Amino acid sequence: MAERALTRSAPSALCALSLLLACAPELGVEPGSGPEPIRADSGSSYLCLETAVEDALCPANAAILDAQVEFIAASLGLPLPEECVPTLWAEDVSAECGPHKGCYRDGRIWSSWQTMSHELVHAVVDNAGLGGSVFMWEGLAEALSGKVLRSRGLGLGAILEVGQDGSLSGAEYESAGHLLSWMLGELGPETVVAIYERLHRDMTTAEVIQVFEELSGEPFASLEEAYDGARSRIYAGQGPFSCGAAATPLRFRGGVAEDEAYFSCRAEAPFRRLDLGHAEELWRPYLLEHSGGALQIELGAPHSAHGLVQACLVDDTEESQLPQPPSPVLRSWGRSRGHVFFGWPEPPEELSVPGGLRLELPAGTYTFWFGQVRELAKGGAADPRQSFSITRRP
């Protein structure tokens, strides 16, 4: 989101089992506006990163952010930033961004991890000198953020009306993202960027329609009809922030996939810091391609480690064709936006079995999140070496 206020605030606590992916920046803040941000030597190629909490940033986080910047630029044929983008990661950015979880202005990002992938689109597009109408500015950021997108019932004309020069509501952000996903697929990135370059927020809707017709080579009525045919489609997320994109594939041997991990934020470790609230978290995603049936998940030390299963939508589909995994499986197409998921401190009793959890899962792509959450207030010293196993059951 491109918000307008600039000050600084302290981070807020989030649920200890919240699944965010994480990383952060370098900004100046007004004196007395809150604790000074902490510069993070992350090794990012494109971002000057600072965090609201010391030692919060893992190199694996910075690698995903860099991959997102490169994905955006490649998807649109835009140049990569030559100077680093000042970026602050904090869980509470309300002083700068109002009710939003992130914002971008004057070449700077303030963001929680929930909206970081969205704000990076603004940064890359702005770096290329593009501004555009609100529905293009925000819709493109949604389309390339990695989120699963629905139309929410709005047609092409309606999105142009509400998103030409005014602000968008939460649902309208997704509608604009759905439209831009369709435009990228049907018109192509070159035409989308050309439309983006021509539009500005002072144009009337009639002038916007004229630009669409001129650059697409189609009457606006034909474009409306074509988009109407795609409004029931659910677009799967794209890029490094999409479900399962940055996960390590699980290998089954004799029906069992297992791993022992040493939770660490060192350069060679694949773990990411995910929360800047009251807990210290490290998470690693594993990719599970499942042919259907029962899985039994066991953690070596369930009081020191956590496991969450997330169903991924990897292909565009219709609502009626979505799989129906059971609770407590998370869904990348669920009501939670982006990469923010809330797990159960204790799984439902009917799914618990001695030594773990048994889930009947439909065939599909899943991410198994293996994590450690250490309550800083308690000074917990959890064993950093943890293990898990996933067994296929008849």
CATH number, domain at 193? 1.10.390
Average pLDDT over residues 281-289: 92
Q: What is the largest CA-CA distance in the chain?
A: 65
Residues 222 and 115 in one domain: yes
| Digit-coded pLDDT (tens) for 197-214 | 999 888 889 999 999 999
206: three-class secondary structure by DSSP: helix
- Secondary structure of the chain: what % helix, strand, coil (to 5)? 30, 25, 45
**Residue 71 tokens, joined:** 């994905």
DSSP 55: T
Whether 110 and 27 have beta carbons less than 8 Å apart is answered as yes
Residues 84 and 113 in one domain: yes
Alpha-carbon distance 342 to 335, whole Å?
Answer: 11
Residues 225 and 271 in one domain: no
Asked if the structure places residue 10 within a domain, the reply is no
- Give the range of the structural domain holding residue 386, as residue numbers without chain letter: 248-393
Average pLDDT over residues 118-135: 93
Asked if the structure places residue 122 within a domain, the reply is yes
DSSP H or E stretch at residue 117: helix 116-127
Question: Which amino acid appears at position 390 of this protein?
Answer: I
Asked if the structure places residue 329 within a domain, the reply is yes
170: three-class secondary structure by DSSP: helix
Number of domains in the chain: 2
Asked if the structure places residue 252 within a domain, the reply is yes
Residues 311 and 203 in one domain: no
Alpha-carbon distance 322 to 173, whole Å?
Answer: 22
Alpha-carbon distance 224 to 249, whole Å?
Answer: 41
State pTM to two decimals.
0.86
Residues 272 and 298 in one domain: yes
Residues 214 and 261 in one domain: no
Residues 184 and 285 in one domain: no
266: three-class secondary structure by DSSP: coil
Asked if the structure places residue 24 within a domain, the reply is yes
DSSP H or E stretch at residue 385: strand 385-393
Beta strands (DSSP E) in 291-363 are 293-299, 306-312, 317-318, 330-331, 341-342, 352-353, 356-361
Asked if the structure places residue 11 within a domain, the reply is no
Residues 81 and 163 in one domain: yes
| Digit-coded pLDDT (tens) for 216-263 | 999 999 999 999 999 999 999 999 999 999 999 999 999 999 999 898
Question: Which amino acid appears at position 301 of this protein?
Answer: A
Considering only 4-8, 118-122, 213-217, 236-240, which range has the smallest mean pLDDT? 4-8
Residues 43 and 116 in one domain: yes
Match 């490169």 to its residue by tokens: 70
Asked if the structure places residue 6 within a domain, the reply is no
| Digit-coded pLDDT (tens) for 47-77 | 998 887 776 778 888 999 999 999 999 999 9
DSSP H or E stretch at residue 171: helix 170-186
Residues 181 and 288 in one domain: no
66: three-class secondary structure by DSSP: helix
Residues 168 and 287 in one domain: no
Asked if the structure places residue 356 within a domain, the reply is yes
